[in-house]
Amino acid sequence: MNIIQAWKYGPGPDSLKDYLILIAKGVCMGIADIIPGVSGGTMAFITGIYDNLIDSIRSFNGTFFKKLFTLDITGAIAEAHLKFLLPLLFGILAAMVSVANVIHHLLGTHPVQVWSLFFGLIAASILVVGRRAGRFSVKKLVAGIAGAVFSFILVGLIPVTTPDALWFVFLCACISICAMILPGISGAFILLLLGKYEYITGALRNPTVAENAAVLIAFVCGCAVGISMFSRVLHYFLEKHHAITVSVLTGFMAGAMRKIWPWKEVLDSVVIRGKTHVLSEVNVLPPAFDGEFASAVLLMLAGFAAVIILEWVSSAGEG
């Protein structure tokens, strides 16, 4: 088997149309990761690629690295799900590079409208994903409530001061990267909570400095270890306890709605590298039922409808 054959027969899209669809789903994940408090994992769930994403991350296993280190490139490509991951990563990175400035601009000029759109998206996704848990049971209800309470409390926490030791940077990376593949929980927000957002972004500005390089190496290693281990844990629970796991993940999204509510009053914030990051805020009612409120409601409905339509199209395609 040559490299082209190894790529061709790996799991992933088979036609140009499928590639473009997967790239588009990656774009959705990238846009979600840009929004503070919104997770790319949520979009992976909405677009129906969550299980594939977890399996693809798990494909970077001991066999893959053994073949890679022995220069068996063909075998390594055959083992990894690169056919799925590369188009997805392309879409994520394309969104982050091309849409980041637009999203940040809109969050600064029209925050209520942006949050309203995502509020509608997440509200509908709760219904869509919740249906995948199957028939109602008390056990699933309890699991969903537990997930919602955990997420609700988490997104309301205030960042703390933590040590700058490399072991703690490694630990923070393990935790934050796990959050990035969990629906409803933002990895960047977790990093901010752990008091390491400014520290890591500062190291990124001058990566050639020895001290910063050590920090970034520790962070990358932590990300690799964290996502490798956590993807296997998630896969186990999705395979062995699918309904309960989906119920918990649905609860995560429901609890995170606290962070996505469009109308907020900032209580405390900090400026990091010229950008304002909110440390604590409280949700408030709309100040007036005016044109802004009407546009917010319309965008909520548009976001809600978009997810329902996407689910309907996906179900029709599977049928």
CA nearest 245: which of 119, 127, 128, 129? Answer: 129
Alpha-carbon distance 97 to 207, whole Å?
A: 20
At residue 188, the pLDDT reads 74
At residue 63, the pLDDT reads 83
Measure CA of the first residue to CA of the last residue in the chain; give whole Å.
Answer: 34
At residue 48, the pLDDT reads 79
Beta strands in the chain (DSSP E): 264-272, 275-283
User: Is residue 16 exposed (0-12), middle (13-18) or buried (19+ Cβ within 10 Å)?
Assistant: exposed
At residue 284, the pLDDT reads 92
Nearest-Å Rg of the Cα atoms of the chain is 20
At residue 200, the pLDDT reads 85
Domain ranges (residues) in the chain: 3-318
CA nearest 188: which of 259, 117, 86, 265? Answer: 259
Q: Which two tokens stand for residue 249?
A: 């993940």
Name the residue with tokens 């979600």. Answer: 32
Q: pLDDT tens per residue, the chain (319 residues)?
A: 555 655 566 667 778 888 898 998 898 888 877 765 667 887 887 787 888 888 888 888 888 888 888 877 777 777 788 888 889 989 988 887 777 677 767 877 888 998 898 889 888 888 888 888 888 899 999 999 999 999 898 888 777 778 889 999 999 999 888 877 777 677 777 887 787 877 887 887 788 888 989 999 999 999 888 988 888 888 899 889 989 998 998 898 888 888 889 998 888 777 765 666 666 788 999 988 888 899 999 999 998 998 888 777 766 655 5
Alpha-carbon distance 177 to 227, whole Å?
A: 6
At residue 58, the pLDDT reads 87
CA nearest 216: which of 206, 205, 203? Answer: 203
Q: Which two tokens stand for residue 224?
A: 């690799």
Name the residue with tokens 């473009």. Answer: 20
Alpha-carbon distance 174 to 168, whole Å?
A: 10
CA nearest 56: which of 94, 16, 26, 93? Answer: 26
Alpha-carbon distance 292 to 156, whole Å?
A: 26
DSSP state letters, 59-89 = TSSHHHHHHHHTT-HHHHHHHS-HHHHHHHH
Q: CA–CA distance from 208 to each of 12, 212, 214, 215, 217 (Å)?
A: 37, 7, 10, 11, 12
Residues 6 or more apart from 169 whose CB is under 8 A from it?
Answer: 196, 199, 200, 215, 218, 219, 222
At residue 177, the pLDDT reads 84
Q: CA 191, 196, 198, 202: dihedral to nearest 10 degrees?
A: -120
At residue 145, the pLDDT reads 95
Phi, psi of 280 (to 5 degrees): -150, 145
